[in-house]
Amino acid sequence: MHTGQIVGGRYRLEDRLGSGGHGEVWRAADLKLHERPVALKRTRYDGDDSGADRVRREAETLSRINHPHVVAVSDVVDDGGEVWVVMEYVAGRPLSEIGRVSVEEAARYGAQLAGGLEAVHAHRVLHRDVKPANILVTDDGFAKLADFGISRPLHNDETVTATGALTGTPGYLAPEVAKGGRFTEAADVWSLGATLYHTLEGTTPFGDDNAHALLWKTVSEEVRPPTRAGGMAPVMLRMLAKKPGERPRLREARQELAILAGDPTAGVGPEPSGVPRRPRWVLAAVGAAVVLVAAISTAVWIALDRGDTPGVEASTGSIDGAANAPAPSVAGESDGIIGDPVTADPCALLDVEALGAFGLTRVRTDHAELNRCDVVVTSNDSAVTAVSAKIWHNNEDPAEPNRRVGGITVVDEEDDMPEECSRALFLPGGDYNISLDAEVEAGEVDDLCALADATVNQATTVLNDGQLPRRERTPDPASLYTQSACDLLAGEPLERLPGVVADRPTVGFAEWECKWGTDDGKELTARFQFNDPLSEDSGERFVLSGHEVFNEGDSWTATSCLVSIVNRVAVSADGDGDIVAELVRLHLEADGDESVDELCDVLLDIAQPVAARLPAVS
């Protein structure tokens, strides 16, 4: 690469701004737009086609984000076998080079960045490395979120621990992620709080130290009390809360910071549009590195025959993507393929033998949803991928483009998912679809779609042959497989929710999820899930009718409460010795001024008769 070189027949390289092991960035002139300055990032992806495709997909995802405080991605160019990403050129310097600033200036930067990060999250993208070095500030005080790490950012501070690779920078990495937990939008909020702490105090919330020491302090110590934060301390410290559920939503943080900055409109951008149909998080920052996810690796697929649920009217809609669509008046063709939803076996849709070509395989039958089955594939380089089949009850129409395999419509959905590849299979009649997903759980996998495609033939063959096979094992009578979420809440439990529209529930697959609205805009959800066993760290613990109940507060969203009832805790039937908890999740979302504590009080009241209806704890 040299000054004056033309890239893609359009961009003239003018000045190299930086370089690293995974790419280099140049200032360039756009020859088609009056030599407008742009930033070009030359990416490195080990020369394989799948790596180049991944870069293009990530660039396409990021190009949809339109916000004044996010560096824009405008183009991706192939030139001489190399892939270049074209970005907005920002004349400024990193926030890390500015030094300590006043409370008002820090609040202004914080409001701007919170607004930008909110726009990023609206497109189901996680930054995963928010820190001062990844924020550009113009001479007139305009902060922009940068470096989403297409094929890895230029800085080289990925953290490697004894348990694997963690994405992010020590000192700016949320405690739950530093422990190997799942990265969520709340982790980005924590990183932004740590960045604001640096602008005021000149250091991370745990001081300056080596990477391993900072990780240890993040997990085991409290944030150092700020000395220069003034009126900004309360909102900043809430952003730095140890528990993700105690952190503010970005919109709330932006509003508070904007008021402190004396500019209520700071950080406001255009309303987001074009959000994916079924939201999934795109792991965008630090390229292909993957946060370790602690997954339950367990349990029991079983065969049972549950009759119609008494006391609950027929569904007036479906949960999985068509919240208010009317149920068909007669059984559709897809009903004949699914049969009794409770006994339909999603494991029959996965081709374990074909997936064995990619590494060692094991079947995982009780991870997250009850309507799901996984084949976990561990490759020779220890990368771990979960290939899952999930059955959904909805009335969605297949997206374009699509293809037909017999009577099944197949839609490829990999474009929006840099760290996940999906295939959606739509059954004739339009009442059900199948989601086949390949998702990285640890390490790096270059061609996720090859794993998803490896089981498409099996799934379409099974679905075209007739009724989906039944589960192979008889359930424990105490299992949630034998229960109906709608039934559990019918009658007395629903009567404890003022204004509930009890006779028009929205019913999910096999009645393992049920939703009700209220006349003042609340939404109550009852959902069955598998999870790691809960502890008092999960929330305030109660015992109702012999069942443990945990008030997890606003751990899902800031305007809701989550209460989890433990149906039972058992050893996995998959034979791996793991312990798994079956949970009844009660979630109440508000659309008014109710506090989280008020919502939780209502849910705990509802939980009493629900716990009494569950099988007795042995």
Q: pLDDT of 351-383, one tens digit each?
A: 998 898 899 999 999 888 999 999 999 988 888
> What share of the chain in percent tops pLDDT 90?
42
Tell me: pLDDT of 182 over 70.
yes
Tell me: pLDDT of 283 over 60.
no
Tell me: pLDDT of 527 over 60.
yes
CA angle 196, 201, 205 (to 5 degrees): 70
Phi, psi of 355 (to 5 degrees): -70, -20
User: Residue 51: its pLDDT value, please?
Assistant: 67
User: Residue 81: its pLDDT value, please?
Assistant: 78
Mean pLDDT of 103-108: 95
Tell me: pLDDT of 417 over 70.
no
User: Residue 167: its pLDDT value, please?
Assistant: 66
Looking only at the bridges linking them, the beta strands covering 11-20 and 36-43 are: unpaired
What are the structure tokens assigned to 423, written together?
């295939």
What are the structure tokens assigned to 314, written together?
């027929």
Give the burial string for 507-524 (b: 16+ CB within 10 Å, else e): bbbbbbbbbbbbeeebbb
Listed in order, strand segments (DSSP E) in 89-200 are: 92-94, 125-126, 135-138, 143-145, 159-161, 164-166
User: Residue 157: its pLDDT value, please?
Assistant: 37
373 in Cβ contact with 298 (< 8 Å): no
More confident residue, 117 or 56: 117
What are the structure tokens assigned to 120, written together?
């990023």
| Helix, strand or coil, per DSSP, at residue 564 | strand
Tell me: pLDDT of 121 over 90.
no
Q: What is the pLDDT of residues 212-258, one digit of tens each?
A: 899 999 999 999 999 999 999 999 999 999 988 889 889 889 989 99
Range with the poorest average pLDDT among 155-164, 406-415, 446-455: 155-164
Tell me: pLDDT of 277 over 90.
no
pLDDT band at 291 (very low <50, low <70, confident <90, very high): very low
Domains and CATH numbers, the chain: 6-88 (3.30.200.20), 93-283 (1.10.510.10), 333-465 (no CATH), 480-613 (no CATH)
Tell me: pLDDT of 438 over 80.
yes
pLDDT band at 166 (very low <50, low <70, confident <90, very high): low
More confident residue, 153 or 78: 78
Most confident of the following: 122-126, 323-327, 579-583: 579-583
Q: What is the pLDDT of residues 476-505, one digit of tens each?
A: 888 999 899 999 999 999 999 999 999 989
More confident residue, 81 or 197: 197
Mean pLDDT of 260-280: 63
Task: Identify which of 420, 431, 411, 412 has the alpha carbon closest to the alpha carbon of residue 387.
Answer: 420
Would you say the C-alpha torsion 387, 458, 423, 82 has a positive or negative sign?
A: positive
Tell me: pLDDT of 285 over 50.
no
Tell me: pLDDT of 335 over 50.
yes
More confident residue, 106 or 34: 106
| Helix, strand or coil, per DSSP, at residue 478 | coil
pLDDT band at 162 (very low <50, low <70, confident <90, very high): very low
Q: Catalytic residues, which ones?
A: 129
User: Residue 128: its pLDDT value, please?
Assistant: 85
Query: How far separated are the first and last CA of the chain, in Å rounded?
Result: 70
Helices of type H across 170-242: 175-178, 185-201, 211-220, 233-239
Tell me: pLDDT of 175 over 70.
yes
More confident residue, 463 or 400: 463
Q: What is the pLDDT of residues 23-36, one digit of tens each?
A: 688 899 999 888 88
Mean pLDDT of 105-132: 90
Mean pLDDT of 519-545: 92
Tell me: pLDDT of 22 over 80.
no
d(C-alpha 423, C-alpha 389), whole Å: 10
User: Residue 148: its pLDDT value, please?
Assistant: 62
561 in Cβ contact with 599 (< 8 Å): yes
Most confident of the following: 39-53, 284-298, 364-378, 466-480: 364-378
Tell me: pLDDT of 330 over 50.
no
User: Residue 488: its pLDDT value, please?
Assistant: 95
Tell me: pLDDT of 159 over 80.
no
User: Residue 377: its pLDDT value, please?
Assistant: 93
pLDDT band at 322 (very low <50, low <70, confident <90, very high): very low
User: Residue 416: its pLDDT value, please?
Assistant: 55
User: Residue 191: its pLDDT value, please?
Assistant: 95
What are the structure tokens assigned to 274, written together?
């074009």
**Who contacts 344 (Cβ-Cβ below 8 Å, separation ≥6)?**
338, 391, 468, 470, 471, 510
Q: Residue 277: is it exposed, middle or buried by C-beta count within 10 angstroms (0-12/13-18/19+)?
A: exposed
Tell me: pLDDT of 321 over 60.
no
Mean pLDDT across the chain: 81
Tell me: pLDDT of 304 over 60.
no
Q: What is the pLDDT of residues 541-579, one digit of tens each?
A: 999 999 999 999 999 988 999 999 999 998 888 777 789
Tell me: pLDDT of 122 over 90.
no
User: Residue 501: its pLDDT value, please?
Assistant: 94
Tell me: pLDDT of 592 over 90.
no
